[in-house]
Chain A
Amino acid sequence: MTSTIDSVREDGVSPTSTESIVGKSPRELAWARMSRDKVSLFALGIIITYLLVAALAPVICAVLGISPYALDGDALNDYGLPKGAFGGISTEHWLGVEPGTGRDIFARLIYGARASLMVGILATLLTTTIGLVIGVVAGYKRGWVDSIIGRFMDVTLAFPSFLLIIALTRPFTQRLESLGVPEGNPARMTYIILVLGTFGWVYVARVVRGQTLSLREREFVEAAKASGATNRHIIFKQLLPNLWAPVIVIVSLSLPGYVATESTLSFLGLGLMQPAASWGVMLGDSVRYYRADPTYLFIPGIALVLLVMAFNLVGDAVRDALDPKADRQNLL
């Protein structure tokens, strides 16, 4: 079915004229394609669950009577390790307790999801906004504006970004604190988001620029120009609505990347700090206990892998659905 539509559209014939598929907007078509992919639907379900759990973490904890910070010495043995098998999994502590402190791992995990997703979502929003604006401007204006922006993007891409993130953590966090961002984790979180935004927009901008370059030559833009539309109108009304498909794909692929980066930084001790719960903090801590309490290592690990995988699957599916030319079935 997909291929029929595509080939028809490729021929320049309006889809509405084809009897079998009347009255479907591109959005509906994309959703129709995506909903055939059961795996990605499942992945989408996982993502929605994560988002809900993260958003409702305080409510869930209150209902279950658990807290990510409450210490529970009774759940630990003389060595400070969890009592009982599998890291102290019990009806009281669903995923066991943290060695040394007895804090509830389930509560820390869902609060960790909150932190990780917040960083991921905000960083993605930032990169997308910056990337979109700069990309459209570069692609639409062309000429010297494009050249300057292009060189600037090349330079940004050439930066050893991760190294820079690590090196600048201390001074920038302190600078943010002196600017009035609350000390400690809020400042560190802001830093991570800002720095991911600083380096991440280029990837969005490059794709958007390319798309814009091809779109601005299309007939509908010509038509708009001919009828005297302003640049503003062309960018916002003509170009942007046609750009959201590639942007959604980039977003769905970069968000899990940012979540993983936050975890990596926290793991290295540069991201969020104790007592805050973040997956990276949990992973960093649990590695020490791999011999005495392996369950503790697996729980945040699985949570992270699951989220990143779900986002990647959904990202792939969205790309396939929105960009039929890359459809795997079509290629076969």
Chain B
Amino acid sequence: MKQRRIIAAVGFALVASVVAAACGGSSGSGSEGGTPTKGGTIHILSSGEQIAHLDPQRNYTGDDLAFAGSTMHRTLTSYAYAAGDDGSGIVPDLATDLGTHNEDGTVWSFTLRDGGTFEDGSEITCADVAYGVSRTWATDVITDGPTYASSYIDAGDYPGPYKATADQQAAYDKAVSCDGKTITFNLKVPVADFNYTTTLLSFSPVPKAADTGEKYDMKPVSSGPYKIESYTIGKSLVLVRNENWSKDSDPVRSANPDSFVYEFGLDEAVLDERMIKDAGDDQFAVSAGIQPENLQTIFEDDAFKDRRVDYYDPFVTYTNLNVKNLSCVEIRKAIYLALDRDALRKAGGGPYTGDFADGYIKPALALDYKKSTLPDGLNADGTANVEAAQAAMTAAETACPAVAARARDGLSFYRPATPVWDKAVAIWIDSLGKVGIKLKDEPVEPSVYWPTVMNPETDYDIARGGWAPDWANASTVIPELFSTAGGFNLTRNADDPDYAEFQEKVDLAKKELDRTKQGVMWQELNQYVVDRLWALPGTFTKAQSIWGSKVGNAYQWSPFGAYNYGDLYVKS
């Protein structure tokens, strides 16, 4: 899933000697103790202008998935509502169990629970789930969402429910078939952990009659314990109890507070200040992320010790290099070696930014992680190795003079226009300048940063990336980031001479059913990409958060690196 907090996290690497397990870790997972009480209002303070997408099939950012999933959108299966490693396990949600599959994992079936209803009181049927999933195919309307459903499910050339011909719809209905309360998915490829895929909100039910296409984003129909009372972009989102939801049909969600108020558009500095002050309604508030300048204030003062957390989130940050423009590994290596990753890390808040990454797979993915070998000459302490970089640059002059000339002339550097990045850019320019590589700074409004760089028309040379696995399998990392079919490939590596070989290896790894063998294949592919430097590994990130003194259960939900919003309660 994409990283939402693109404000922070610019630093880079030293491999973590101890990384708490399972996507996130438990190095202080939040406020403990006390019996959850019902009632009250939880406030969520945000510097964003809106939730990227409330439409379940379009929601794909860690924080928003955690929020919408735990309050409004039920899925067939869900991550467990628990702190620490337990949160990475899955439990049945809309379904009665974790699904059953045939021998080779190509046919998966789930049976819906009794009593699940939408906010209007109508029952959630198998058809609603099938319809919801089918929207994934309509990528012209349902943008930005994960594409696992459409890449796994064998629905031929199905274009989504809006444009499908009768034949195409029939093909889909065959691939995703309903038999009473049982929904069956026929997959193109064996997927041993498809019941993890179904935790994504892509697998949320949508009543066909209520589907307004693109506009559904503003007022989706709730299947969970809360429904939207009001939603104004740039101002607020208010969730109130969905009276038609019953705890009997939903053993997962605790639904403690009476309402949630999401406040948008706050200045980051003001936001932190309010959290530090902890006055009035802000005592019932949570916020995601702390600005680097406030870390010392919060982490050096014991007054905050019960309402702060510093943990490994599931994200890895890295820098995409446009392989089409920088079609020469020497130049990519020169950039990597010249970069003062230590200075970048300091600008982002020092060790609180995270550890220098050695690849794109975080150690938390224990089966798929193996420390990869980084290019020769890369300083382990993150400082620049100007000599080695200079040597790589000289090699580039010979190997690919045109690309080297381009680098001397100026590479376009697309980055979010935030204060932290203003500094980071200065470091980039200073670092690369030492080996004669120039950068053209292109600040982009943070809210449109991803859409801008994902637009194939945008001719960047360098663009940042931040990614977390969608579930504990690097099949949601390597193919997503580096395969042309992947949902977040910003490296434009399709023309690289090694791409065909890479894609072949990816296809093999995806098909491998033996999870241990598959893990080794991902490890090798991780190394394969690191060797080619299609992207520069950045940081295995850490994140920090602060919450109000009257908020209970403010733990970080490890799969998302965000609060489990639905599990919060107001302390009496």
Contact = CB atoms under 8 A, between A and B. Distances in A.
Contact of A81 (B296, B342, B429, B441): B296
Contact of B440 (A184, A274, A288): A184
Contacts of A275: 425-426, 429-430
A299 B299 CA distance: 27
Interface stretch (B169-177, B343-351, B354-362, B385-393): B343-351
A57 interface: no
A273 B422 contact: yes
B153 to A, nearest CB: 44
B403 interface: no
A103 B430 CA distance: 11
Contact of A69 (B268, B273, B299, B430): B430
B423 A101 contact: yes
Nearest to B410: A183
Given A100-B423, A101-B343, A79 B350 contact: yes
Nearest to B420: A100
Interface in B282-323: 291-297, 299
B39 interface: no
Interface in A283-301: 284-285, 287-289, 291-293
A149 to B, nearest CB: 40
B425 A81 contact: no
Interface centre among A70, A100, A101, A274 (most CB of B within 10 A): A100
Chain A: interface size category: 20 to 34
A11 interface: no
Contacts of A285: 419, 422-423
B425 A80 contact: no
Contacts of B292: 79-80, 100
Given A69-B430, A78-B351, A79-B352, A273 B441 contact: yes
A77 interface: yes
A291 B297 contact: yes
Contacts of A291: 273, 293-294, 297
B293 A101 contact: no
B515 to A, nearest CB: 39
Contact of A292 (B296, B383, B425): B296
A71 interface: yes
B296 A100 contact: no
A275 B440 CA distance: 12
B154 interface: no
A79 B440 contact: no
B427 interface: yes
B55 interface: no
B269 interface: yes
Contacts of A78: 350-352
Interface residues of B, number: 36
B269 A288 contact: yes
Contacts of A184: 440-441
B429 A80 contact: no
A101 B269 CA distance: 19
Contacts of B295: 79
Nearest to A183: B440
Interface in A271-285: 273-275, 284-285
Contacts of B340: 71
A274 B293 contact: no
Contact of A288 (B291, B346, B410): B291
A292 B293 contact: yes
B294 A73 contact: no
Interface of B is mostly: helix
Contacts of A293: 293
Contacts of B266: none
B343 A71 contact: yes
Interface in A98-136: 99-103
Contacts of A79: 292, 295-296, 299, 349-350, 352
A100 B429 CA distance: 15
A80 B348 contact: yes
Contacts of B342: 73
B293 A99 contact: yes
A76 interface: yes
Nearest to A293: B293
Contacts of A77: 296, 350
A269 interface: yes
Interface string A70-99: 110100111111000000000000000001
Contacts of B296: 77, 79, 81, 292
B524 to A, nearest CB: 35
Contacts of A70: 430
Contacts of B346: 73, 76, 80, 100-102
A73 B343 contact: yes
B350 A288 contact: no
A164 B41 CA distance: 43
Given A78-B350, A273-B441, A292-B297, A287 B269 contact: yes
A70 to B, nearest CB: 8
B417 interface: yes
Interface string B436-455: 00001101000000000000
25 contacts: A69-B430, A70-B430, A73-B343, A76-B346, A77-B296, A79-B296, A81-B293, A100-B293, A100-B346, A100-B347, A100-B420, A100-B423, A101-B343, A101-B427, A273-B441, A274-B425, A275-B425, A275-B429, A285-B419, A285-B423, A287-B269, A288-B268, A288-B291, A288-B419, A291-B297
Given A76-B350, A269-B417, A292-B293, 13 more contacts: A69-B430, A71-B340, A73-B383, A79-B349, A81-B296, A100-B420, A101-B427, A183-B440, A285-B422, A287-B269, A288-B269, A288-B293, A288-B419
**Which 10 A-B pairs have CB atoms at the shortest separation, nearest pair first?**
A275-B426, A100-B347, A79-B296, A80-B346, A78-B350, A274-B426, A274-B422, A100-B423, A289-B293, A80-B350
